[in-house]
Amino acid sequence: MSGILAIYPGSFDPLTNGHLDLIERGRQLFDHLVVAILTNLEKDPLFTTEERVTMLREATAGMGNVSIDTFTGLLVDYATQKKARVIMRGVRAFSDYEYELQMALMNRKLQPHLETVFLMPAESYSYISSRLVKEIFRHGGSVKGLVPPVVEEMLQQKVFPS
């Protein structure tokens, strides 16, 4: 594959409109963007890996240069195996920065040829997080506009199965 391949790694438990906003921005910057879902989450995920793949595939259908993949183990090993040049991460607020900087510098130490690029989502998405979406939904609040419709449906089936 020619051009710059970027990896956008994350838990995506679940995918939010903030993530989607970043995917849209990333796919305009890079030749190819691989959204990579971490499968060996230390935290117990609400959605299985397969369900997270499904929601990402549906929400990015029609985005020509975006593909969805899963990975285990170290991100730098996965990115090297994919021949990626860039790791893309989103920074919403200053509070994200410390953790993101630490990860980026550690990843650089492990694999100097990989560059981490931070993108900011639209301000209107800057307060959305997967954790809050789950919390709101579990307590009966509306997540309309916070997640794509496919995720809303999957949350309904998962949290309040009929």
Q: How far apart are CA 94 and CA 86, in angstroms?
A: 22
**Shortest Å, Cβ 2 to ligand PNS:** 26
Give the Å distances, CA to CA, from 137 to 40, 42, 57, 86, 128: 24, 22, 22, 34, 13
Q: Is 111 in the site for ligand PNS (CB under 6 A)?
A: no
Q: Kindly tell me which residue out of 75, 84, 133, 155 binds ligand PNS, with binding defined by CB under 6 A.
A: 75
Q: Which of 4, 63, 91, 103 binds ligand PNS (CB under 6 A)?
A: 103
Active site residue 142: no
Contact predicate 100/118, CB 8 Å: yes
Q: Which is nearer to ligand PNS, 29 or 106 (CB)?
A: 106
**92 tagged catalytic:** yes
Choose, by CB under 6 A, the member of 3, 29, 50, 74 that binds ligand PNS: 74
- Counting beta carbons within 10 angstroms of the beta carbon of residue 108, is it exposed (0 to 12), middle (13 to 18) or buried (19 or more)? middle
Residue span binding ligand PNS (CB under 6 A) among the ranges 55-63, 103-111, 118-126, 147-155: 103-111
Within positions 10 to 69, which residues make up the interface with ligand PNS, using CB under 6 A?
10-11, 38
Q: Is residue 107 close enough to count as binding ligand PNS by CB under 6 A? A: yes
Per CB under 6 A, residues contacting ligand PNS are 9-11, 38, 74-75, 103, 106-107
